[in-house]
Structure 1
Amino acid sequence: MRGLLDPKVDFVFKNIFGSPKHPRILISFLNATLNPVNKITGVEIKGTDLEKQFIDDKYSRLDVKATTNNNEIINIEIQLKNEYNMIQRSLYYLSKMYEEQLGEGEEYSKLNRTICINILNFKYLKTEKFHTGYRLKEIETNEELTDIIEMHFIEIPKLSNESDEKDMLMAWTEFLRDPESEKVRSLEMSIEEIREAKDELVRMSNDEKQREIYEMRAKILKDKVSALNEAERKGVEKGIQQGIQQKSIEIAKNLLDILDDETIATKTGLSIDVIKKLR
């Protein structure tokens, strides 16, 4: 028997958490993440034609977009690899979602609460907490200006192995981390939404067409990660070379008054032309 698909791959995540067939899953996840005073009881999920979206543009962002019964606009994105721009990226999409609510001439009072939730399969922020939420606050007093925009980070690797299974956000994060774990098997016995998500994951995993699209998406994401790793490697190598070059130049400057150009070139590895420019 083949294993389950990885729910951290965005194609799978969106099929489970962004499907209008299973609104209870998203509602449960949002209530666990946002912990609202007025619990979310309904969601309208956007962009549900996932297969068409993926086939038309294989490099598109497969995030989950929804509006809640509390008139909140939600965007959930899952990231497998640290691209070192998550805060800027999330702020950009958050501001874009906020701005797009108004047509020309419409009043600002029509703007609704806008929330970005970033699920990361890597450690990113300095805090040890696996879940953090941010709003606009006064710098010294910490007084909240408004809750109309909000940003959350869920860092899966920071979830403790001793996590409290009664905490719903911990339960959902455990499901994303390892849906075949003993913890998740226990959770699906007691939590209907977890069981519903697991059943959908099993269904997808046994569907040849879904698995084929998953394999395509997983390869694209793997290639993207490989490209990022290669760029990082080249960046490090370039930095090392630049450091060596700078050190050689400093040595050459100290030798200008006591040695000829040819000898300095031999000792530092710099070209004669570079040394002449230092004089």
Structure 2
Amino acid sequence: MRYLDPKNDLTFKKVFGTHPHLLRSFLNALLPLPEGEWIESLEYLSPEMVPPVPLLKHSIVDVRCRDNKGRQFIVEMQLLWTDSFKSRVLFNASKAYVQQLDKGKEYRGLHPVYALSLVNEVFEKELPAFYHHYQIVHTQYPERTLEGLQFIFVELPKFRAQHIRDKKLQVLWLRYLTEIEDNSETVSPDLLEVDELREAVGYLQESGFTKDELFSYDKYWDSVSTEKTLLSDAEQKGREEGFEEGRLEEKRVLAQKLLSKGFTTAEIADMTGLTKQALETLLR
């Protein structure tokens, strides 16, 4: 028996985007919900967050839902990290928060929005923790908070590297996401001991997907590989451009020093390897 990777767009939405009881278990395990404030029931909302102003960015999240208390939850699986991802998460959550308020309604009718981002890359390299919880707090008295928006980022590679083996539900769900990979043929017995996890594992069996779904599954991985290559190329180009800018800055500083000591432009050009025209442009 072979399994598909739950981090793929197709499988992630199949498991968490169509089975609210599995999503409820997942969110209760992963989110920093106050004691006694567990999610009891969920209804799915459109993941397509159409802005009221056509010029604003049109954004789509993986799963968006609302619970019985009116709280909204946005869940995204992010395979590639970019510096702008946090801004996009903040934008989506803020938009979900303000769109609750219709004309004439009071602000106290607004309900909290939780944004859960599962990131398959390490972006906080200096921090050992894999779980990052952000909320609006008083800088002098951090126990004082403003309710409304909360952001949770989980670095999956850090979790995987720690080899956590306890059987807390949070750990088991994260193991589900990190241990089952494309074409896995076995699943840890630990993941089969909990009803929700066992059901979620079953939805990853390759035999349960149509040919068209498997084609979409492979196509998604191809798009991820292409995007990763483009990002890598852009980073390399940026490093090269940065190196070249650094060299030009060094030559500019040297040229200014030589100029102050009375050297002519022609002499400086000869010593720095720059053309007379390039030197004049650099010294403007």
TM-score for the superposition, normalised by structure 2: 0.85
- Aligned pairs for 1:155-194 within 5 A: 155-159=155-159, 160-179=161-180, 184-194=187-197
2:20 to 12, 23, 33: 23
The equivalent of 2:273 in structure 1 is: 269
- Aligned pairs for 1:1-279 within 5 A: 3-19=2-18, 22-36=19-33, 37-47=36-46, 61-125=60-124, 126-159=126-159, 160-179=161-180, 184-203=187-206, 206-256=209-259, 257-276=261-280, 278=283
CA contact (8 A) 1:130 1:158 kept: yes
Q: Where in structure 1 are there 5+ consecutive unaligned residues? A: 50-58
Q: Distance in 1 between matches of 2:222 and 2:208?
A: 16
SS at match of 1:8: coil
Give the deviation of 1:75 after TM superposition: 0.3
* CA RMSD of superposed structures (Å): 2.5
Q: Distance in 2 between matches of 1:136 and 1:40?
A: 22
Task: For 2:26, give the aligned amino acid.
Answer: F
SS at match of 2:44: strand
Structure having greater relative contact order (Cα 8 Å, sep ≥ 6): 2
Q: Distance in 1 between matches of 2:11 and 2:225?
A: 15
CA contact (8 A) 2:47 2:61 kept: no
CA contact (8 A) 2:47 2:62 kept: no
SS at match of 2:180: coil
Q: Distance in 1 between matches of 2:32 and 2:266?
A: 71
Give the deviation of 1:25 after TM superposition: 1.4
Q: Distance in 2 between matches of 1:108 and 1:184?
A: 48
Structure 1 vs Structure 2: percent identity of aligned residues?
A: 29
Q: Distance in 2 between matches of 1:39 and 1:204?
A: 34
The equivalent of 1:55 in structure 2 is: none
User: Is the helix fraction higher in 1 or 2?
Assistant: 1
Q: 4+ runs of 1 displaced by more than 6 Å?
A: none
SS at match of 1:77: strand
CA contact (8 A) 1:204 1:211 kept: no
SS at match of 2:115: strand
